[in-house]
Chain A
Amino acid sequence: MRKSIVIMCSALAFVACGKSEPKPGAPDAATPAPAADAAPPTPAGDVAAPAADAAKTPAPDAGAAPAADAAAAPAGDASAGETTEVVLWHSYRAGELEAFDKVVDTFNNSQKRVRIRSQAIPYDPFVDKVTITVPRGQGPDLFVFAHNMIGNWVEKGVLEPLSGKVDGEYLKQFLPESVKALVYRKNLYGLPLAMKSLVMFYNKKLLPEAPTTMEELVEKVKPLQKPDERYGIVYQAGGLYFHAMWIHAFGGVIFDDNHVPAFDSPGHLAALEYVRGLHMKEKVLPKGISGFMVTSLFNEGNAAVVFNGPWFRAEIENVDYGMATIPTVQGKTPKPMLGIEAVFVTKTSTKKEAALEAALYLAGADSARVRMNLGKQPVCQAAVLAEGAAADPAMKVFMDQAQNAVLMDSSPEMQLLWTPGDTAISAGIFVEDRKPADELKRAQAKMVGDIGKAEKPQ
């Protein structure tokens, strides 16, 4: 009893006498991190505890604060004569890896100022690892990844703005769309390396010539089909990423001008009904196709036409195949989503100058040539790509398709659209008793609701 009173009084006394100088900075709320990320195919998991990730920068962006906190501190750069080593993370495999390693080696051997130490990190949890380590001062100096996470990353303080450090002239050597992809809030955040979009692959044995319109395509593949064995058009039709080309063809948009999802619109409905027709009426599009099925069916010769991206080339075996841009539908041009793979400099790197120099080389023409020829990447260097297109018809297809491709949105809100979008599209195309219009309405409601619930970029 007495002891408790003593505690109480001491606590009060303590508080009353407490005195010190508080800092006018915002408090550092420890932020937790969630489990491993899920790209549509396969996420990670663990027996004891699912992984965690994503942190928010605690302090306000003091990037432009006065001298006490010098802007873009170039501290840590070696003086002339010493080699600065910068750490680079990427998730390349196979052919692309070979090409990339060669580029890095060439760079390291060509000069002694900067040395790149590149590390291959598995793709699936890449985002998580970057998001959790970089804001805390750990992590790499630069990294290579797709552009669609830029919004998220800038808000979390992961990326260093490059505008002003990169010459305007330098940027002119890239395809304009690829640079635009890396601009967020009017600042440049990365340098483009390669681009990806869907194109049409066709089995030359079944279809000697590439059709130029979908109507022609449908007519030609119908007689080639064998029930439960061979199919006409094989692709992951239920995914928003793959479906986007039809959405854009029929005039729909993912986000409207106010940056609100616009799924409940005539363009979307028309696109969904068209593909539904392909499945239900024309019966040229099978259901339940996963990425792996696409590859195996095509390789077995049981798929006449496949819509897939540049990564698919490495998976094709023993098939005489051709590539072409996606055929027009009802006179309209399908525009698939364009993804740009870029090299980014991290905000918490202590060797930003060196990292930038490395990045400039990696995005440069010499590197592009190696990556294109050896790694079969459609590069963003316009001149190099044109060279490649002249020599390799496959490159030409990618180059042409890129003219008719729409950049994937890189805002944080985009990440909330994938799951509801996938659900609505798969249901709208493949399920008999679901109506596309209802599905789109439902997806729209969920997307808007989730965006409302999500953390606003602060």
Chain B
Amino acid sequence: MSGESESTSQKGTLWGTIATHGTLIMVTLVTLYPLFIVLRIALSPGNSGASASLNPFPKEWSLDNFYAVVSATNARGDWLFGRQLLNSVVISVATTILGIFLATTAAYAFSRFRFAGRKAGLMAFLVSQMFPGVLMMVPLYLILQSLGLLNASLGLIIVYATTAIPFSVWMLKGYFDTIPKDLEESAIMDGASQFTIFWRIILPLSMPAVAVTALFSFMTAWNEFVLAFTLMEEPTSFTLPVTIYAYVGEQSVEWGKFAAASIIVSVPVMALFFALQKNLVGGLTAGGVKG
């Protein structure tokens, strides 16, 4: 069963509890301080929040920046924020679904089957993480151009899903490895097909790992700015992170709106984290301990 800490004999110590909570609170505050600053900037009127003060609370509270970001329109009166939010959601959800599909099938094969190219394939996934991205943009652009996927959400979705695959496959494979084979063997004896086993037995058992894959794919697509900006032509097809950069000007940054946009972009990911957090912990055990 799940292992807990060694200090079962000390669970009653008051000092131990205070020390533990004290440390945790300190670390949490340090961790969250920069985000408080961002919040402060976003919640102060105009750009006044971006001052040098250490205080994480705004001097004046105001939702102006959020309002301005959300209600931004373009020259023709299109509601930019709404469209960009929609684009982001559609693209990220599609990426997540595609990513899960691709990663789970591949990881299952790598885990369960023996076939030529298996080891090479796994190493290839790892190795692909080593390519510095600096070089990949123009070849990628050219390839997408020849495939006719420029200025199309589909292009972005495919690229994002592909980016998220290596990490997900590695992690999922490790998780699949920990599922005992006898489950499958008995199912085979009962006459189930390989796919049924995969779909009905393995996947449900691997929910934690699948949750992490989903989260990772979603994050990759949601936070990505550069490719979305370069590939898409119209501002109405941009995704949300581009909004953040709309507030960076030639000589001045509209800090208030920049921070507000940053918060808005970060919230869905954090919400997803929170919703999946139980799964998160279990799911990241790549190649975890057996038994």
Contacts and interface: CB of A to CB of B under 8 A. Distances in A.
Touch between A and B in complex, CB under 8 Å? yes
Contacts of B163: 48-49
B220 A291 contact: no
B287 interface: no
B273 to A, nearest CB: 15
A124 B245 contact: yes
B47 A138 contact: no
Interface stretch (B105-113, B132-140, B202-210): B132-140
Interface in A22-70: 30-36, 39, 41-42, 44-53, 55
B163 to A, nearest CB: 5
6 contacts: A32-B135, A46-B225, A47-B219, A52-B226, A91-B250, A104-B75
B137 A33 contact: yes
Nearest to B219: A47
Given A104-B75, A124-B248, A296-B51, A32 B138 contact: yes
B47 A295 contact: yes
A104 B233 CA distance: 19
Interface stretch (B1-9, B187-195, B251-259): B251-259
Contacts of A55: 138
B50 interface: yes
A292 B252 contact: yes
A32 B229 contact: no
Contacts of A291: 251-253
Interface string A94-118: 0001000100100000000000001
Contacts of A48: 133, 163, 220, 224
B48 interface: yes
B230 A42 contact: no
A379 B110 CA distance: 65
B235 interface: yes
Contact of B227 (A32, A45, A49, A138): A49
Interface stretch (A125-133, A152-160, A449-457): A125-133
Grouping DSSP codes into helix (H, G, I), strand (E, B) and loop, the B interface class, with mixed when no group exceeds half, is helix
B275 interface: no
Query: Looking at chain B, what size class is its interface with the partner chain?
Result: 35 or more
A387 interface: no
A163 interface: no
A33 B47 CA distance: 34
B230 A123 contact: no
A311 B251 contact: yes
B251 A30 contact: no
Contacts of B220: 47-48
A50 B47 CA distance: 28
B46 interface: yes
Interface in B141-170: 141-142, 145, 150-151, 163
A103 to B, nearest CB: 11
B234 interface: yes
Contacts of A132: 137-138, 141, 230
A44 B226 contact: yes
A120 B142 CA distance: 25
A43 B223 CA distance: 16
A108 to B, nearest CB: 10
Contacts of A41: 248, 251-253
Contacts of B23: none
B47 A292 contact: yes
A310 to B, nearest CB: 10
Contacts of A45: 225-226
Contacts of A121: 235
A31 B46 CA distance: 42
A176 interface: no
A309 interface: yes
Interface of A: 30-36, 39, 41-42, 44-53, 55, 91, 93, 97, 101, 104, 118-125, 128-129, 132-133, 136, 138, 146, 291-293, 295-296, 299, 308-309, 311-312, 315, 317
B249 interface: yes
B137 A52 contact: yes
Interface in B74-90: 74-75
Nearest to A121: B235
B246 interface: yes
A138 B233 contact: yes
A34 B134 CA distance: 5
Given A311-B250, A311-B252, A129 B139 contact: no
Contacts of B223: 46-47
Nearest to B246: A122
Contacts of B145: 136, 138
B263 interface: no
Nearest to B249: A123
B230 A51 contact: yes
> Which of B50, B137, B138, B140 has the most C-beta atoms of chain A within 10 angstroms of its own C-beta?
B137
Contacts of B225: 44-46, 51
B46 A317 contact: yes
B270 to A, nearest CB: 15
B102 interface: no
A39 B250 contact: yes
Contacts of A120: 74-75, 235, 246
Contacts of A47: 219-220, 223-224
Given A125-B229, A317-B46, A119 B250 contact: no
Given A122-B242, A125-B230, 10 more contacts: A30-B138, A31-B138, A32-B139, A49-B136, A52-B134, A52-B137, A53-B137, A119-B233, A136-B145, A296-B50
A165 to B, nearest CB: 26
A101 B73 CA distance: 12
Contacts of B75: 97, 101, 104, 118, 120
Given A39-B250, A51-B229, A296 B135 contact: no
A52 B245 contact: no
B229 A311 contact: no
Pairs A-B, 6 closest by C-beta atoms: A52-B137, A49-B133, A51-B226, A33-B138, A122-B245, A32-B138
Contacts of A312: 252
A51 B251 contact: no
B246 A35 contact: no
B248 A292 contact: no
A315 B242 CA distance: 23
B250 A33 contact: no
B233 to A, nearest CB: 7
B144 to A, nearest CB: 11
B230 A315 contact: no
Contacts of A296: 47-48, 50-51
B259 to A, nearest CB: 12
B91 to A, nearest CB: 14
Contacts of B50: 292, 296
Nearest to A124: B248
A455 to B, nearest CB: 15
